Amino acid sequence: MNSPGAVAFVSEVEGRVTGFIIGRQVADEAEVLNLAVAPMARRKGQGGALLKTVLEEFRMLSVRRVYLEVRESNMIARTFYAKHGFSQTGKRLKYYRKPEEAAIVMEMRLAG
């Protein structure tokens, strides 16, 4: 979070952190580095709220293109990101370890 361009938000329920998102902006591009919602708190819109908040922050920072990598087998996250306007633009073989797996690259354009 101390690195240049880092943007991070948490979601809370009754004062306890139940989700977080971390992104990084470099010039007019930004990456979603990590997003997670606690299992008990999922499917209630928190992930969507975190993503919308970080996208709004990126928009204010004049970002035009946002991208991310997600494990190929993580269909929940791929569906989630697609619902929020991301489309698949590439695939990186052997990107993840333990277990080894390809990354699906997804991206979206932000309106100016």
Ligand X SMILES: CC(C)(COP(=O)(O)OP(=O)(O)OC[C@H]1O[C@@H](n2cnc3c(N)ncnc32)[C@H](O)[C@@H]1OP(=O)(O)O)[C@@H](O)C(=O)NCCC(=O)NCCS
Cβ proximity to ligand X, 34 vs 62, nearer residue: 34
8-state DSSP, 41 = G
Residue 76 interacting with ligand X (CB under 6 A)? yes
Query: Considering the complex, what minimum distance in angstroms separates the CB of residue 28 from ligand X?
Result: 22
Dig out the tokens for 75 from the structure.
């269909």
Give the binding-site size for ligand X (rule: CB under 6 A): 18
Q: Does 37 bind ligand X (CB under 6 A)?
A: yes
Question: Does 16 participate in binding ligand X (rule CB under 6 A)?
Answer: no
CB contact at 8 A, 70 and 95:
no
Interface residue with ligand X among 7, 25, 31, 46 (CB under 6 A) is: 46
Give every CB contact of residue 83 below 8 A, 6+ residues apart in sequence.
Answer: 48
Coil vs helix vs strand at 27: coil
Q: What is the spatial distance between Cα 63 and Cα 110, in angstroms, rounded to a whole number? A: 7
Specify the stretch interacting with ligand X by CB under 6 A; choose among 2-10, 79-87, 89-97, 100-108: 79-87
- Cβ-closest position to ligand X: 47
Cβ atoms 61, 55 nearer than 8 A: no
Q: Can you give the binding site for ligand X, defined by CB under 6 A?
A: 34-37, 42-48, 70, 74, 76-77, 79-80, 83
